[in-house]
Structure 1
Amino acid sequence: LTGVWADKHGVHDNSFKGKQFDDYPHFFARIKSQFPSYKTAHFVDWAPIDDHVVSHADFHNGYKAHQPSDLGAKDKAIAADASQLIADKDYRVIVAYFGNCDSAGHGKGFHPSVPTYISAIEAVDGHIGKLITAIESRANYKHEDWLILLSADHGGKGTGHSSGHNVPEILTTPFIVSGNNVVREPIKEQVYVVDIPTTALHHLGIVIQPEWKLDGKVIGLK
């Protein structure tokens, strides 16, 4: 969400001790610095993101789950509310974070042989489909230029993801770029989660400033 690695934003674990978000803020701050009128919305059900990371959001709602078993329902609520906002309002950027896949992986295992994990993935796939349907239902959809970016912050092995830099199952995550100005072929170069904000900023016409020291690059666009 910041476009930089932990050596810059300072967060190395879920305690968020040492965070440097004043220097390396959520990418919404970069948008607002050049286009203050661009409206931004953030939906998330993992409390630490809502508490520590989200900033410069014109609309944001933390659907905070009190326990892991709540996340399936919270994901569903995010899909419903975000799709309504997309269909009815004019927001330039919407971030939707669905937390139940992570919860299912930690609870039962990050593996395709685990029914609970697969069920969570299938549910999120349906939620994303609902958001896309909302985009396509907009009155001016044919005259708009939407970019959809999908990723995850980590994979997993067993029920965890420690030492991820050395474990392929943990290091590997999905990375999907979809839109009118996307190159229609598999991404051949190495991609990283820090590329998501940079790609979004480029699509929005934001001029990347050297002093931001972003680590990401633009991926998949013509």
Structure 2
Amino acid sequence: MNLKTTFATFFLLSFATASLAQKKAVIILLDGIPADVFERVDTPVMDQIAAEGGYTRAIMGGEVGARTESPTISAVGYTSLMTGTWANKHNVYGNDIEAPNYRYWTIFRMMKEGEPESKLGIFSTWEDNRTKILGEGLKETNYLQLDFVFDGYEKDTVTYPHDAEKFYLSQIDEFVSSKAAETIVIEGPDLSWVYLEYTDAVGHKYGDSEEMDRAVQLADQQVKKIWEAIQKRRLETGEDWLIWITTDHGRTHKDGKGHGGQSTREREIWFVTNAQNLNANFSERKPEMVDVVPSLIEFLELNIPKKVSKKLDGVSLIGK
């Protein structure tokens, strides 16, 4: 066999192996970090991830003045992230999450319905992400069940005494990010959601400040544990792992403490991902929060019922 034939054979085998590699995804949401703050602060780990894939500013909040306009409030952002729809569909308009419309499936339900043997994980400072937004165990979500659950620690005031600075949230973030890393290495969930809250608490208290910058840097180090776990898992198993990191809203121009409105700074979020085949929707326009679910569907190669896919408000940022 000559050198050209050997190279061609190696290339084809490598391509086939990559195509057949089991695909897994991790969504990380770092609460309340405006795009300009994220870009200013030194975040070497997320920079490394973006170098492998890409970084872009994005939009949360739908179309201003139209029926899709959605408050730039945390739970609204989480639900848009998980369902690929705006608030006029998923019906979450505030952090109380009063009456989610579960007819608009989350990516977790899509994964479980499309791949019943798939393993799902959540690692979250806030229990409502699982019980209300994902709707675990509810009839309306076809009794969705997650396999790896680390949340609800905000209710444990013995282990995590609540302090005025809300540093206890940082301690919880540290714990759930460590559990996410550990679970990825050992169990390799097919789809995981990691939610870290401390940056939002610091933003509300201090706004644009050195304290906020340090909180973002701390979040970068927590992401590092998860990123290193993914790299270890990829090396050991040959699996194809996607990581998608974002935030749920920006903050007000005045002092960086508030959010909820439709100002440019409140609406501007950002995406960091290691995805290799990002398309023009990612690079040539400002993508939106609702584009994440279609991108995950594309990457994970999920077969979604038309009654579900036709309700999505976003487009894939991956592939053609």
The equivalent residue for 2:91 is 10
Whole-angstrom CA distance in 2 between matches of 1:139 and 1:193: 27
Match of 1:174, SS? strand
Is 2:158 aligned against 1:60?
A: no
Shift of 1:62: 1.1
Whole-angstrom CA distance in 2 between matches of 1:50 and 1:92: 17
- Deviation per residue, 1:12-66 (Å, 9 max, x gap): 0112123212x12321101111110111111110233233113332222214325
Match of 2:88, SS? helix
Whole-angstrom CA distance in 2 between matches of 1:81 and 1:197: 24
Is 2:299 aligned against 1:203?
A: yes
Is 2:154 aligned against 1:154?
A: no
Whole-angstrom CA distance in 2 between matches of 1:141 and 1:64: 32
Shift of 1:197: 1.8
Return the TM-score normalized by structure 2: 0.63
Whole-angstrom CA distance in 2 between matches of 1:215 and 1:183: 18
The equivalent residue for 1:127 is 222
CA contact (8 A) 1:177 1:220 kept: no
**Structure 1 gaps, min length 5:** none
Whole-angstrom CA distance in 1 between matches of 2:249 and 2:200: 9
Percent of residue pairs identical: 25
Question: RMSD of the alignment, in Å?
Answer: 2.2
Shift of 1:196: 1.5
Give the counterpart letter for 2:191 in structure 1: V
Is 2:181 aligned against 1:92?
A: no
Whole-angstrom CA distance in 1 between matches of 2:241 and 2:215: 26
Whole-angstrom CA distance in 2 between matches of 1:181 and 1:4: 23
Alignment of 1:14-29 (within 5 A): 14-21=95-102, 23-29=103-109
Alignment of 1:46-57 (within 5 A): 46-54=126-134, 55=136, 56=144, 57=146
Whole-angstrom CA distance in 1 between matches of 2:319 and 2:195: 23
Give the counterpart letter for 1:92 in structure 2: D
Whole-angstrom CA distance in 2 between matches of 1:139 and 1:119: 30
- Deviation per residue, 1:110-164 (Å, 9 max, x gap): x3xx01111111111111111111111126557221111111110112311121x
Greater C-alpha radius of gyration: 2
**Structure 2 gaps, min length 5:** 1-81, 137-143, 156-161
Whole-angstrom CA distance in 1 between matches of 2:151 and 2:99: 23
> Which of 266, 272, 284 is the aligned partner of 1:170?
266
Return the TM-score normalized by structure 1: 0.88
CA contact (8 A) 1:79 1:130 kept: yes
The equivalent residue for 1:137 is 232
Is 2:182 aligned against 1:74?
A: no
The equivalent residue for 1:216 is 314
Higher mean alpha-carbon deviation, 89-98 vs 55-64, is at 55-64
Whole-angstrom CA distance in 2 between matches of 1:188 and 1:139: 30
- The count of residues paired between Structure 1 and Structure 2 equals 216
Give the counterpart letter for 1:154 in structure 2: H
CA contact (8 A) 1:5 1:215 kept: yes
